[in-house]
């Protein structure tokens, strides 16, 4: 049975839009957009394994517009220390995370960055994002938890946390690549 030309074009157009949608979703996945980890390294300080990171972030226009309207936006860094095991899943030794809240204060034309109970004010968005995208001396685990001769690695991620956005904004964000900002990397840990 042969379809009329109008229906053929309609089906062909529908098929192409589905294929292009899948290709777009595949391209926007895990690497994240607009985030480049420029530094990620471990260190030792006061009997602890520490982590230092720095990222370069380019915020999409939609995110920047929401922030300029006073919508609080949260960024999360997470590090998981794992020990390699050949016989089972790798053992999780420690997991730590940090969450920053960035919000524009319209009355003072300044940006407030909150980490835990501490708040700091910055005059520009660039300075506020510089505070959110780097950390030094972040304590991951005690060195006493690590055994010499074993292989360890850190799974690190930094991302915009859309689950903490106001509820009305969360509707429909699942398919929007503008809000999928993040980066992930694994880093081997070298023991003395």
- The pLDDT score that the predictor gives to residue 83 is 92
Assigned token pair, 117: 């109970």
Q: Is 183 exposed, middle or buried (0-12, 13-18, 19+ CB in 10 A)?
A: buried
The per-residue pLDDT for range 40-53, each reduced to its tens digit, is 999 999 999 999 99
Contact between residue 192 and residue 155 where contact means Cβ atoms under 8 Å apart: no
The per-residue pLDDT for range 62-103, each reduced to its tens digit, is 899 989 999 999 999 999 999 998 888 899 999 999 999 999
The pTM for the full model equals 0.76
pLDDT above 70 as % of the chain: 77
Better-scored residue on pLDDT, 174 or 42: 42
């Amino acid at each position: 049975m042969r379809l009329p030309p109008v229906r053929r074009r309609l089906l062909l157009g529908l098929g192409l839009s589905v294929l292009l949608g899948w290709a777009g979703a595949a391209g926007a996945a895990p690497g994240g957009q607009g985030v480049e980890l420029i530094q990620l390294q471990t260190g030792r300080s006061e009997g602890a394994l520490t982590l230092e990171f720095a990222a370069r972030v380019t915020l999409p226009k939609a995110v920047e517009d929401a922030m300029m309207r006073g919508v609080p936006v949260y960024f999360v860094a997470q590090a998981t220390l794992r020990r390699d095991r050949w016989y089972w899943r790798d053992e999780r030794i420690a997991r730590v995370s940090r969450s920053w809240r960035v919000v524009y204060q319209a009355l003072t034309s300044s940006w407030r960055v909150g980490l835990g109970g501490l708040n700091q004010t910055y005059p520009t968005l660039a300075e506020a994002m510089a505070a959110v995208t780097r950390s030094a001396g972040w304590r991951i685990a005690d060195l006493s938890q690590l055994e010499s001769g074993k292989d360890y690695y850190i799974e690190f991620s930094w991302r915009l946390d859309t689950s903490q956005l106001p509820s009305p904004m969360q509707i429909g964000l699942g398919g929007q690549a503008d809000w999928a900002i993040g980066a992930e990397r694994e880093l081997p840990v070298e023991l003395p």
